[in-house]
Amino acid sequence: MARIIPLADVRDAGRPTALAGLVREAAKSPAPPGPLVDRRGRGLHDLRISVTDRCNFRCIYCMPKDVFGHDYPFLPHGDLLTFEEITRIAGAFVGRGVQKIRLTGGEPLLRRHLERLVAMLRELGPLDLTLTTNGALLAKKAADLAAAGLSRVTVSLDSLDDATFRAMNDVEFPVGKVLEGIDAAAAAGLAPLKINMVVKRGVNESSIVPMARRFKGSGHIVRFIEYMDVGATNGWRMDDVVSAREIVDLIGAEMPLAPADANYAGEVAQRWKYRDGGGEIGVIASVTQAFCRDCTRARLSTEGKLYTCLFAQEGFDLRSLVRDGGDDAALDAALAAIWRQRDDRYSEIRTAETARAPKVEMSYIGG
Ligand code: SAM
């Protein structure tokens, strides 16, 4: 049985006092305007915003049903950041050089009128504004999201085999509906589309090659993700990880691949191109080849806590700051102070021991 972190512990981890102390301390040597750098010399380029902690799937590796059941205490609506609050906080990040914002969750398309938030964020400037979704509601929403100013989408799809996919999402959701969502997103111009497949040994590794085959030449980029020890409910074991190396070898044996340069410093996926010009794939080797050294991502949870690492145990409560009347200067000082003291590098120091440590759930912090 998976170990449960009581949600209360996660919520209490906001450390308003710690944040106040940090900001007070930072006020003694305020950050000059402009881009921020953390203690390991890493900039701040991406912001991931979780807009809901709820999901309509119960993927076995992310929100297992025995933990996230009918009685699971999801956040009450009043605890969620409003669209205005999200936009205000995002604006502070953009003021510090963030160029890419990704909406996530939970399942972001469950948040009502999400296209309104997209339109509000679009007003912040020429950002790369993207969304990660399981695709279930995408066919319905793609056109509105594109019209509101979304740049592109990433769709999670763990297998093309219907039985495997249903077993993984654990709510009997069919592959065909996700494929409809992918087609609708492409038709709406939300391209280039990325398709994320998490690979778990013994569950879906036989889907790797068919997935590559299916999308080769489509213009969509499939990204194969090593199964990670996020959260504490999925019972992760190193043996369950299929390495990026194995994935590249499997695909390359049928469809030869050559490594390609990163599009930009800090890109999460390693790129591989088909030698025959059929496009590219990506592999995200967060377990076997940690990329903490290049990590420029901040994460804002559904209720407004700022996390400086996907594997963090604690976040900083920006919602209190905003709801208690903090002005833009206070918000900027807080995020500057948080980023400048950032020292995280979890994936570089991962051990079997740390994998069992309490961490926030991916569905709460956002993938
Ligand atoms: N519901 C949306 C979706 O399905 O894309 C967004 C949230 S989901 C948490 C974001 C991504 O995280 C998905 O691609 C999911 O497969 C991935 N993910 C969740 N748990 C993971 C784990 N333990 N290891 C690797 N990826 C994981």
- What pLDDT sits at residue 10? 39
Mean pLDDT estimate for the chain: 91
CB of 233 within 6 A of ligand 1: the answer is no
Which candidate, 108, 107, 180, 187, places its Cα nearest to that of 147? Answer: 187
Preceding amide of 6 cis, omega within 30: no
Residue from 138, 193, 198, 310 to probe ligand 1 pocket by mutation (most atoms less than 8 Å from CB): 198
- What pLDDT sits at residue 125? 94
CB of 362 within 6 A of ligand 1: the answer is yes
Which atom of ligand 1 lies at the shortest distance from residue 155's CA? 5
Distance 310 CA to ligand 1 centre (A): 12
- What pLDDT sits at residue 98? 97
- What pLDDT sits at residue 16? 56
CB of 87 within 6 A of ligand 1: the answer is no
Distance CA 229, CA 362 (A): 10
Distance 62 CA to ligand 1 centre (A): 7
Distance 31 CA to ligand 1 centre (A): 34
Give the residue whose CA is nearest to atom 14 of ligand 1.
156
Distance 123 CA to ligand 1 centre (A): 28
- What pLDDT sits at residue 5? 39
CB of 282 within 6 A of ligand 1: the answer is no
CB of 114 within 6 A of ligand 1: the answer is no
pLDDT tens track for 26-55: 777 778 888 999 999 999 999 999 999 999
Distance CA 307, CA 301 (A): 7
CB of 286 within 6 A of ligand 1: the answer is no
Indicate the residue type of 137: L
Weakly modelled stretches of the chain, pLDDT under 70: 1-17, 366-367
Which candidate, 272, 285, 269, places its Cα nearest to that of 228? Answer: 285
Distance 11 CA to ligand 1 centre (A): 21
Rg of the chain in Å (alpha carbons): 20
